[in-house]
């Protein structure tokens, strides 16, 4: 029996995160303060959809 791989935070390596997220919400402020990731960069914006035409939902 195999299980699917778990994607975890690159900082704490404990908390599961979404495929497109690098860090969990708890570690993000620490990495921003250290200058390792850009402040204000939000992974939530990657999930928002942009409407291109009138039939796009």
Burial category of 16 from C-beta neighbours within 10 Å (exposed 0-12, middle 13-18, buried 19 and up)? exposed
Region at 53 (left for phi over 0; alpha for psi -120 to 50; beta for the rest):
beta
CA distance 31 to 20: 17
Q: How far apart are CA 41 and CA 26, in angstroms?
A: 15
pLDDT score for 41? 47
pLDDT at 45: 53
Q: Is the pTM of this model over 0.85?
A: no
pLDDT (tens, 9 = 90+) of the chain, 57 residues, equals 567 888 999 999 999 998 888 899 999 999 999 988 887 645 555 556 666 777 665
> Would you state the pLDDT for residue 8?
93
């Amino acid at each position: 029996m195999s299980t699917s791989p778990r994607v975890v935070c690159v900082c704490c390596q404990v908390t599961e995160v979404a495929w497109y997220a690098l860090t969990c919400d708890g570690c993000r402020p620490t990495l921003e303060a250290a200058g390792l990731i850009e402040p204000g960069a939000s992974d939530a914006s990657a999930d928002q959809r942009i409407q291109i035409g009138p039939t796009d939902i």
